[in-house]
Amino acid sequence: MINLTDSAGARSRLFQLIALGFAHPLPEFHQILSDGSYINALKSNAVDAAACGTALPYAQYSFADFEADYIHLFQMGRGGKPIIALTAGDHKEINKELGRPEFLLQYTAWYKHFGLKIDENEGGNELPDHLVCQLEFMSWLSHLEDTAEDNGALQHGYQSAQRDFLQRHLQPFL
């Protein structure tokens, strides 16, 4: 049986690495993708988190091409709409009943409850339902669990929050 508490730090790093993979490309990310350190970190943390490691191709082309592919897939795509939307609200099967503002407030409430807010000064423009924000939130919850050390009740609470958020928000998205 997997001890979730022992793997919380690795899960935190793994979610952060996955979020980085879906964030708008930066030259620094392209560099770690090109030199193989990103895939090595993914593999290492996936194994440590008791997940399975998967192989990703190394970036074999320029940063400009890498960024253009990202924009084509996740931002502009066909007819000005992304081919693959990274915001949950853009998936009709996920947001069936609420208006967009109410839908976004659900995510904001989760983040606020655990002491987070969207950092508007960081240069990012992700909405609260963006996949990057959701993965970073899972990273934060895993980090909180990891730093709760020997407080079993607190660790269990963070594990429950991770499970709930995953089931309610991330699982339908993926």
- pLDDT, tens digit, for every residue of 101-150? 898 999 999 999 999 977 766 666 789 999 999 999 999 999 999 999 88
Model pTM above 0.85: no
Q: Is the pLDDT at 52 greater than 80, yes or no? A: no
| Cα angle for residues 102, 104, 105 (degrees, 5° grid) | 65
Distance CA 61, CA 76 (A): 20
Distance CA 81, CA 75 (A): 7
Distance CA 108, CA 117 (A): 7
Distance CA 139, CA 162 (A): 9
Distance CA 148, CA 6 (A): 11
In this structure, the dihedral spanned by the alpha carbons of residues 83, 55, 135 and 119, taken in order and rounded to 10 degrees, is -80
Distance CA 129, CA 114 (A): 16
User: How high is the pLDDT of residue 53?
Assistant: 42
Buried b (16+ CB within 10 A) or exposed e, 140-168: bbbbbbbebeeeeeebeebbebbeebbee
Return the CATH architecture of domain 8-173: Orthogonal Bundle (1.10)
DSSP string computed for 15-54: HHHHHHHHSPP-HHHHHHHHTSHHHHHHHHHHHHTTS---
User: How high is the pLDDT of residue 4?
Assistant: 54
Helix (H, G, I), strand (E, B) or coil at 81: strand
User: How high is the pLDDT of residue 36?
Assistant: 92
Strand partners, 130: 87
